[in-house]
């Protein structure tokens, strides 16, 4: 287990022991400097702040907050949020981000906060992708999005916000509608009958076996279905 994961998931007692042991092994100058304290733990400052900031016991440990240079938990949380929302796989690596997503669903107080942070973070990443079309960032973004849904971080409101972006190229890139269905955040029948779900997205749902024949037939009876969707549905129905 990395130092990041250990700090992120430790109990309050274990966290105190880890940090005081590290402080005792460091020089006096290093132990009093937050940046050097992180270095002593072989972490970036962003990693240290996020590992501690997302630890569900940190609010019970004001001494730890003081040790790493913050006046209060609120100050730590503000810096944590800044790093999490703005760092794109630089000081906070993809493994760290995935570890956070694996941990957050265990903390019911943090889960609603994460919904707000997700919107800000993903906006930063998607803007970077649009500006640079960096293949490494794209692959890490895909891993991150899969974890958001598979680990139970995403909630219904988050999924609805993503579905509202009808013409999002990112939704298509990720096959995100299928992720939402697989995460069981919104019933597949509900999604299938929505007009803001693109025909190609519905085709993918059919190909994955999420849509039974009777739902396709019901959808075809709807007179407001676009010709593009109607053609796709008829083609898929003929193959079942």
The phi and psi torsions of 207 (rounded to 5 degrees) equal -65, -30
- Model confidence at 29: pLDDT above 70: no
Q: What is the mean pLDDT of the chain?
A: 90
Long-range CB contacts (within 8 A, 24+) of 171-178: 171/201, 172/198, 172/200, 172/201, 173/138, 173/142, 174/142, 174/145, 175/201, 175/204, 176/145, 177/201, 177/204, 177/205, 178/204, 178/205, 178/208, 178/210
How much of the chain, in percent, has pLDDT values that exceed 90? Answer: 72
- Give the pLDDT confidence score for residue 25 in this predicted structure: 54
Q: What is the pTM of this model?
A: 0.89
What span, in angstroms and rounded, lies between the C-alpha atoms of 90 and 68?
21
Diameter over CA atoms, the chain: 75
Angle at Cα 215 formed by Cα 211 and Cα 219, nearest 5°? Answer: 120
CA distance 179 to 146: 7
Return the pLDDT at 31: 47
Query: What per-residue confidence (pLDDT) applies to 33?
Result: 65
Average pLDDT over residues 13-35: 65
Judge contact between 20 and 12, C-beta under 8 A: no
pLDDT of 26 reads: 53
53-81 average pLDDT score = 91
- Of the pLDDT bands very low, low, confident and very high (cuts 50, 70, 90), residue 28 is very low
CA dist 128 and 240 (Å) reads 41
pLDDT value at 30 more than 70? no
pLDDT in tens, 7-20: 999 887 888 887 77
As a whole number of angstroms, the distance between CA 47 and CA 5 comes to: 10
């Amino acid at each position: 287990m990395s130092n990041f994961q250990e700090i992120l998931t430790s109990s309050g007692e274990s966290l105190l022991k880890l940090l005081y042991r590290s402080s005792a092994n460091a020089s006096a100058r290093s132990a009093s400097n937050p940046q050097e304290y992180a270095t002593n733990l072989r972490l970036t400052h962003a990693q240290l702040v996020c590992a501690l900031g997302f630890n569900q016991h940190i609010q019970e440990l004001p001494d730890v907050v003081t040790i790493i240079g913050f006046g209060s938990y609120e100050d730590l949380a503000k810096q944590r949020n800044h790093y999490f929302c703005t760092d794109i796989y630089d000081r906070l690596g993809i493994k760290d981000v995935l570890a956070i997503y694996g941990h957050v669903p265990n903390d019911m107080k943090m889960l609603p906060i994460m919904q707000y942070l997700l919107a800000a973070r993903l906006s930063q990443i998607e803007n970077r992708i649009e500006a640079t079309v960096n293949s490494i960032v794209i692959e890490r973004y895909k891993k991150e999005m899969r974890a958001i849904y598979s680990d139970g971080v995403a909630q219904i409101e988050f999924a609805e916000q993503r579905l509202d972006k009808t013409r999002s190229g990112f939704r298509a890139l990720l096959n995100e509608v299928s992720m939402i269905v697989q995460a069981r955040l919104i019933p597949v029948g509900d999604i299938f009958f929505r007009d803001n779900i693109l025909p190609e997205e519905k085709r993918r749902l059919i190909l994955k076996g999420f849509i039974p024949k009777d739902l396709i037939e019901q959808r075809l009876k709807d007179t407001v279905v676009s010709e593009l969707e109607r053609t796709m549905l008829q083609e898929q129905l003929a193959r079942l």
